[in-house]
A and B are shown apart, each in its own frame.
Chain A
Amino acid sequence: MPYNIAMISDFFYPQPGGVESHIYQLSSKLIDRGHKVIIITHAYAGRTGVRYLTNGLKVYHVPFFVIYRETTFPTVFSFFPIFRNIVIREQIEIVHGHGSLSSLCHEAILHARTMGLRTVFTDHSLFGFADAASILTNKLLKFTLSDVDHCICVSHTCKENTVLRASLDPLMVSVIPNAVVAENFKPLSHTHGSHPRHAPGPPPRLGPHDKITIVVISRLFYNKGTDLLIAAVPRILALHSNVHFIIAGSGPKAIDLEQMLERNVLQDRVSLLGSIRHEEVRDVMVRGHIYLNPSLTEAFGTVIVEAASCGLYVVCTRVGGIPEVLPGHMTEFAKPEEDDIVEATSRAIKTLMMGKVRTELFHNQVKQMYSWTDVAQRTERVYDGISGALSHDEFYQGAGAGGAWSATRGRAGVQSFALIERLKRYYGCGIWAGKLFCLCVIVDYLLFVLLEIFAPRSRIDIARNWPKKIPIQMQSREKEGDGKEGGSIGRKRSARRREKREEDESET
């Protein structure tokens, strides 16, 4: 059963990043599975209005005031009119928000519930509970997630974190990991056309004097563990005369790194590449043997999966969701301590020199572990669960069976959109916050009623769907949809669309 899905986040292309590529890859795979997906984000410099990406993925760049790091100003209500317009125009059934720091996503989930739509939220990051910023974010998250139908987290650690932060029932939180496009991260040997997977002989051993290159690709920030890197690099280099480093990325800690190199005169053994683009990552990775990830916090750690896919042995810190991501034979774990990182790297070098790991097999193994098609399939199951295609028992494994009370609110088809039910949920958020949130919801509902009066649905055009190859079982449904639309308007719009298609972007 195909759904009309709107992905909403502040973070989308042209800005590079993990959330951005997640949204893009997931959307295109969902489109491949026959769903209709649009993306709503705020306007970036020189990019306002509607754009089409590959495969007919429609992106709405809504003009909004950006305050900090591409996050829009949280106005709670001002997004509602245009959001309602888009949702009606595109006949959206499921609103899927991404990123807990995106205020656009939180607002959209609130409005979507007011409009009676199903909502899903994907959390990509970890937050503590101690500092003031986290407390504020957690409260806002609790507000939005009080009424969301289902939540998706990228790792089990992330799920535990989100469940605690937003006081959710763990059954309404699914763990669906990120994935990588394995084709973009092939090791060098694959490009030569050989098939090392079936190579019968023993793996090529590294001689004692062969050069071993350690690759580090990360933004040079405190929470990426750059301090650990700066402390560990000279010691690793002193211990192993045949080791070289390639460090890519930029950030506020870059200057410390350069100072360290100058103080220890290591310029000929460490090459700094500065910031590189995402499509260059593979080319840098394949130059090395070991990937070192000294991060201090990480929800999933896509980059270590990419490194393993390129055939690199991974040394990483045991923080956040990282221990869940790769099997033990691909990784060497370290505590986030300088001594332990040096030790783990030495162990990794030794293992590589003894030829104990078959790094040339990593690519195919990773390819089987993570794929976006799989992610799309699992996300689809979530959509099925919340919209009632899957029965409640099947989706929640019997929670609240037999008429007992259940906190799994996304109950298939049963969940009430009645305002009073929603207010009950919001009221539980806190002594003061609960009342404030209830006020917000009531105002939102009044706005909705006002909009229904002054901008009635009948006056909003329905957008035509992107013409695509339709899977046979879908054809009948599509015909119905075509019949509803006005012919002349559709033609005019398709002419406009053709112009747009020329500016078609395909970013990865």
Chain B
Amino acid sequence: MPSALSTLTSAHDAASSSIKDSDRLAPEDAYFKSVNARKRREKARDRSASRMRKGHYKKLLWFKQPFPDNYTDEETFLDHLQRNPRLQPYEFWSLMGDATVIVQHIASVAIFCCSFAAIAKDRVSPVSVVSWASLCTVLGWALWDYWIGKEEAEAIKVAAAIEAEEISSTSSNASLKEPQGLGLTLPNGSTDQLGHSHSASITSVASDTSNTSTGGHVSAIGSTALGSDFHPPYVDPASSLSPRNQQRLATAKSALLIYAALLGLSPILRSLTESTAIDSIWAISSFLLCMNVAFFDYGTGAGAHLPASISTNSALMASTVLASRLPSTTHVFSLTLFSIEVFGLFPIFRRQLRAISWRGHLALTIVLVINACGGVFMTLTGGGRGSWIAGVILGGILIFLAMGICSWWLIGLQKYKNEIHGPWDPARPIIRPRWD
């Protein structure tokens, strides 16, 4: 009987399909697939020895083989099957680190809600909230501007280095270095003493959009320079100001415009939802804030400069709806401006900070968590300093535990990942990008 049983299992062996074949479909296989597969193949070989047949079986159709049509060869059947080819096992602390991004965003949403509650209950004056926030925003913007300037300088340095390299090697082979050769116009332009040449302005914008990694600079500049008819927004090549200052001016202008528009709109917004019941307002705003959290762009993508628009829009709409319940025009104006700062500008700063310094990111996370926890506790209990401290301690522990449990859970879930690839998948064609 054991021989009959073994032939039976060997028939099933290669078919990782059959559900009964628990070994191949076990979650651990995702990790130890190579070891397991080899072990199994060896086993299969031992078993098939008892059923050795004449000749070799080949996976070909064009000649007649001395095997019946439903013959299944244990050696070759499903030999091109790949399971989880691109699996990267998660690590606990890196997951925890990535989770801080989500915690930051949720904390800033919580802070906004607490501020609204405090304003609505007349615990703080709306003007003080918005002035503190605006002060922080201006400081943050100055910091951001400084970082961008530093990045740009670095980019120019890198470009100059490339230029030097290019000049030393231009004689050797021009055609090989075509993509870099196109980037060559850049350093020429930026070292140009005219200061407002077209190429120089490209540099500034390119470094604006580029990421912080030095490798990213070169590629970003190169790609911007390749689109030869690229005109950066807000930059007038004929102006006497440097492109950086032009940009600052443009930012200030748009800030002023938003300020003025809000000031004009506030009376209208104040009476926007007068006819709506208060519970609908709570429902709508909590739904919209949930949407904001759900659709927010937590990625580190280099290209995404602004957070996803659906998330920002829903947050602004939520703040508008909430603001319309406030008593005076000043209240409305303050809350709306505050929401623009929290949901529109703050994410840009956070993204930049995370890219530049991990310590700063961590510190900001801790500050945000402390404020959010304390604020939430104060709002809920209506207490003073005591409840603030209790909230910070309790909320901090709670958030840390939640982060840990979720990370651990995700790591645990990863073993259920079962991606199957094989020759039946449509191939991905690899086509060279065209410049024409």
Contact = CB atoms under 8 A, between A and B. Distances in A.
Interface of A: 126-130, 150, 155-158, 160-161, 163-164, 166-177, 223, 225, 227-228, 231, 263, 296-297, 300, 317, 319-321, 324-327, 335-339, 369-370, 378, 381-382, 385, 395-402, 404-407, 428
Given A160-B422, A160-B424, A167-B19, 17 more contacts: A128-B425, A129-B419, A129-B420, A160-B81, A163-B78, A167-B18, A170-B70, A173-B70, A174-B70, A175-B61, A297-B426, A321-B423, A325-B62, A337-B429, A338-B431, A339-B430, A395-B70
A399 B11 contact: yes
B424 A128 contact: yes
Contacts of A263: 436
Interface in B116-150: none
Given A128-B425, A160-B77, A404-B5, A337 B430 contact: yes
Band of interface residues on B? 35 or more
A176 B61 CA distance: 8
B424 A171 contact: no
B33 interface: no
Interface of B: 1, 4-5, 7-8, 11-12, 14-20, 51, 59-63, 68-72, 77-78, 80-81, 419-420, 422-432, 436
Given A128-B426, A227-B429, A297-B426, A156 B18 contact: no
A335 B423 CA distance: 12
A338 B431 CA distance: 5
Contacts of A397: 68, 71
B430 A336 contact: yes
B426 A223 contact: yes
A170 B14 contact: yes
Contacts of A428: 19
A395 B1 CA distance: 21
A369 B419 CA distance: 36
A175 B1 CA distance: 30
Contacts of A128: 424-426
B429 A161 contact: no
A319 B423 CA distance: 6
A127 B60 CA distance: 20
Contact of A127 (B68, B424, B427): B424
Contacts of B14: 170
B425 A170 contact: no
Closest A-B pairs by Cβ, 8 of them: A174-B69, A336-B427, A126-B424, A337-B430, A297-B426, A170-B72, A161-B424, A402-B4
Contact of A382 (B63, B69, B430): B69
Nearest to B60: A324
A169 B15 contact: yes
Contacts of A164: 16-17, 78, 81, 420, 422
Contacts of B19: 167, 428
23 contacts: A128-B424, A157-B423, A157-B424, A160-B423, A164-B16, A164-B422, A169-B11, A169-B18, A171-B72, A227-B429, A228-B429, A231-B432, A319-B427, A324-B59, A325-B61, A336-B429, A336-B430, A381-B69, A400-B8, A401-B7, A402-B1, A407-B12, A407-B18
A381 B70 CA distance: 10
B429 A399 contact: no
- For B8, B420, B436, the residue with the greatest tally of chain A CB atoms inside 10 Å of its CB is B8
Contacts of B430: 335-339
Nearest to B422: A160
Contacts of B429: 225, 227-228, 296, 336-338
Contacts of A171: 11, 70, 72
B424 A320 contact: yes
Contacts of B78: 160, 163-164
A177 B61 CA distance: 7
Given A157-B424, A161-B422, A163-B15, A228 B431 contact: yes
Contacts of B60: 324, 327
Contacts of B425: 128, 130, 297
- For A128, A160, A173, A401, the residue with the greatest tally of chain B CB atoms inside 10 Å of its CB is A160
A397 B7 CA distance: 10
B10 to A, nearest CB: 10
A369 B63 contact: yes
Contacts of B5: 404
Nearest to B79: A160
A173 B17 CA distance: 13
A324 B51 CA distance: 25
A174 B51 CA distance: 19
A179 to B, nearest CB: 10
A396 B70 contact: yes
B69 A227 contact: no
B15 A170 contact: yes
A126 to B, nearest CB: 4
- For A170, A319, A326, A336, the residue with the greatest tally of chain B CB atoms inside 10 Å of its CB is A170
Contacts of B72: 170-171, 173
Contacts of A321: 61, 423
Nearest to A369: B62
Contact of A169 (B12, B61, B419, B424): B12
B63 to A, nearest CB: 7
B84 to A, nearest CB: 12
Contact of A399 (B8, B17, B77, B81): B8
A289 to B, nearest CB: 21
Contacts of A370: 62
Contact of B431 (A168, A227, A300, A324): A227
A163 B5 CA distance: 21
Nearest to B1: A402
Contacts of B8: 399-400, 404-406
A486 to B, nearest CB: 41
Contacts of A175: 61, 69-70
B204 to A, nearest CB: 35
A401 B4 contact: yes
Contacts of B427: 296-297, 317, 319, 336
B233 to A, nearest CB: 31
Contacts of A163: 15, 17, 78
Contacts of A385: 70
A272 to B, nearest CB: 20
- For B77, B419, B422, B432, the residue with the greatest tally of chain A CB atoms inside 10 Å of its CB is B422
Nearest to B53: A397
Contacts of B420: 129, 164
- For B11, B71, B77, B424, the residue with the greatest tally of chain A CB atoms inside 10 Å of its CB is B424
Contacts of B436: 263
Nearest to A150: B70
Contacts of A231: 431-432
B62 A158 contact: no
A175 B71 CA distance: 9
